[in-house]
């Protein structure tokens, strides 16, 4: 990709001439938080504020869990979770907000509320999503996946090397978006770690990720706390940060420009340290 590129994300300009960190803000209800909407909104705001203070360039808000085995939610439910948080992050923090959604209604409403980026793990394949994304005027991250969250980890297999499968799929999605009138300048790509891939697929995909540079679009990656770390190191989810930082460093070396993470402060240090070394070799 053009190393001086920056991306217009609504009223924010995102400088991608160096790698940036995206902080994850899940707004999916869990068994621990039943304190009602106001408490949840307040918690979300404080969490986002902290991630921004720690150096996150943008906040990714998601109302549908897409981790393996997760159930799907209705568009209305997703909208009810996401919209108040997007609105508050924009109004109270003037944050650059990314919305992790595949749902056209959520894309439209979030854009109207001031979101700056659409992050769709289904690459605008849902009916109406491509039109909604085009209409939003926002940049879009297209991600590779095989299957749906409910069943994608059952027996993932590929007929060609994983990096080829991923590159071919993403190239086809880019072509479809461009044909529909979504300009290339508005696209980012994500190899989709953990989405219909074995541990070996994920490790090889990271190793060969530089192949995706040929598509000449900014790369976004998400590996934070994922089971690929858990399986290699035999660590539960709360002990995966050191492994994740190692992967972050490798991803930056192989061209990633946005790192989607839970642990912002240590990830910003890992990214900046890695970049300090790479920059001297330019």
DSSP state of 155: S
User: Residue 141 CB, nearest distance to ligand PT1 (Å)?
Assistant: 5
Considering only residues 101 through 120, tell me which ones interact with ligand PT1, judged by CB under 6 A: 119
Each residue 2-21 as x (binds ligand PT1 by CB under 6 A) or -, in order, gives --------------------
Please give the size of the binding site for ligand PT1, defined by CB under 6 A.
18
Decide if residue 166 touches ligand PT1 (CB under 6 A): no
Identified catalytic residue from 20, 173, 257, 260? 260
Q: Is 263 in the site for ligand PT1 (CB under 6 A)?
A: no
Q: Decide whether 79 or 220 has the Cβ nearer to ligand PT1.
A: 220
260 classed as catalytic: yes
List all residues 6 or more positions away from 140 whose beta carbon is below 8 Å from its beta carbon: 117, 118, 119, 120, 124, 133, 177, 182, 186, 187, 188
Secondary structure (3-state) at 99: strand
All residues at 6 or more sequence positions from 191 whose CB lies less than 8 Å from its CB, including other chains: 143, 144, 166, 170, 205, 206, 209, 212, 219, 221
Contact 177, 142 (CB under 8 A): yes
Nearer to ligand PT1, 12 or 226 (CB): 226
End-to-end CA distance of the chain: 14
Question: β-pairing, 117-120 with 140-143?
Answer: parallel
By CB under 6 A, tell whether 100 contacts ligand PT1.
Answer: yes
Distance, CA of 114 to CA of 260 (rounded, Å): 20
Asked if 240 is part of the footprint of ligand PT1 (rule: CB under 6 A), the reply reads no
DSSP string, 21-53: EEEEEE----TT--S-HHHHHHHHHHHHHHHHH
Known active-site residue 226: yes
CB atoms < 10 A from the CB of 71, how many? 8
Should residue 190 be labelled a site residue for ligand PT1 when binding is judged by CB under 6 A?
A: yes
Q: Which is nearer to ligand PT1, 12 or 145 (CB)?
A: 145
- Neighbouring-strand partners of residue 52: none
Considering the rule CB under 6 A, would residue 226 count as an interface residue with ligand PT1? yes
Residues 120-149 that bind ligand PT1 (CB under 6 A): 121, 141, 143
Write down the catalytic residue from 186, 225, 226, 240. Answer: 226
- Based on the shown chain and the rule CB under 6 A, indicate whether residue 220 belongs to the binding site for ligand PT1: yes
- Enumerate binding residues for ligand PT1 (CB under 6 A): 66-68, 100, 119, 121, 141, 143, 190, 192-195, 220, 222, 226-227, 260
Active-site residue set: 226, 260
């Amino acid at each position: 990709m053009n190393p001086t590129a920056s991306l217009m994300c609504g009223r924010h300009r995102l400088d991608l001439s160096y790698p940036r960190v995206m902080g994850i803000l899940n707004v999916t209800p869990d068994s621990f938080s039943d304190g009602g909407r106001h408490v949840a909104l307040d918690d979300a705001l404080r969490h986002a504020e902290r991630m921004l203070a720690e150096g996150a360039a943008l906040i990714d808000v998601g109302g549908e869990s897409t981790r393996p085995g997760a159930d799907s939610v209705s568009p209305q439910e997703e909208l009810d979770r996401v919209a108040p948080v997007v609105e508050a992050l924009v109004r109270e923090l003037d944050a650059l907000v990314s919305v992790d959604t595949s749902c056209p209604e959520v894309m439209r409403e979030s854009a109207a509320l001031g979101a700056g980026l659409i992050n769709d793990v289904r690459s605008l394949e849902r009916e109406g999503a491509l039109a909604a994304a085009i209409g939003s005027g926002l940049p879009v991250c297209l991600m590779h996946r095989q299957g749906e969250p409910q069943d994608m980890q059952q027996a993932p297999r590929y007929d060609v090397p994983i990096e080829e499968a991923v590159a071919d799929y993403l190239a086809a999605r880019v072509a479809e978006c461009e044909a529909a009138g979504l300009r290339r300048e508005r696209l980012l790509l994500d190899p989709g770690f953990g989405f219909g891939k074995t541990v070996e697929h994920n490790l090889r995909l990271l190793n060969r990720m530089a192949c995706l540079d040929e598509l000449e679009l900014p790369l976004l990656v998400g590996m934070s706390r994922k089971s690929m770390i858990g399986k290699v190191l035999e660590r539960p989810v709360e002990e995966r940060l050191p492994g994740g930082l190692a992967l972050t460093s490798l991803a930056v070396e192989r061209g990633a420009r946005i790192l989607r993470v839970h642990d912002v402060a240590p990830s910003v240090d890992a990214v900046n340290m890695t970049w300090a070394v790479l920059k001297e070799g330019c």
